[in-house]
Amino acid sequence: MPNNVKNQPPAKKDRGPEKPPTQTPESPSKPPVKPTPPPPPQDPKALKAAPGETAGILPHHKIGLVEILMILLLAAVVFIFIFGMRQMRAEKEQELLLRQKFENVLPTFKVIADSAKAYQARDPFAAWPLTIDEMNLPPNINTPEFKFSFMENGVVTATTTKEFGKEGIKVNYDIQQAAYNIDDPKPDTKPFIKQEWLGE
């Protein structure tokens, strides 16, 4: 066979009429998407919320042992202060009452002293009476809180009883010296008779 026949390409098979290419329907154009802004910064405390708690809400503060002790200590201080103020007020009222009772019998010292001077003036030896019974005194010189007596050296004594609150306190009045002194066998125990009550 001639060479020009061998070099010819093989004839295409007849596949029938060619179909037009299939066109894919174009999707409708979408509007441009705006970028989403970043979220605002969150509170670190809210980010660390304990399980079961809503983020952004502060957890309830738990009272510790030290705080409980501080509260109890404060309450004790307030209680002691109030109780102390009431106690001081009661003691002050009691002191005023006792002072009034003592001041009520304070003139009795002068009554006894005047009677003793009158006795001495009548006595031929200018002696003091031996006892209070030798003087012409009213019967009500004693009170439930004080009992009066007289010593031959010219001293009038008022001694407290249990009704006063403490028995045995002696208030002495020296007629010649015109001076008082207080003899308290228990000076550290209330109640007291104070020197300022004597009115000197």
Q: What is the pTM of this model?
A: 0.59
50 close to 59: Cβ distance less than 8 angstroms: yes
Each residue's pLDDT, cut to its tens digit, for the chain (200 residues) gives 444 444 555 555 555 555 555 555 555 555 566 667 666 666 555 555 455 555 455 555 677 888 888 888 888 888 888 877 887 888 899 999 999 999 999 999 999 999 999 999 999 999 999 999 999 898 889 999 999 999 999 999 999 999 999 999 999 999 999 999 999 999 999 999 999 999 76
For the chain, the structural domain boundaries read 66-187
Q: What is the pLDDT of residue 1?
A: 45
Q: Extract the tokens encoding 70.
A: 């501080």
Q: How far apart are CA 77 and CA 148, in angstroms?
A: 47
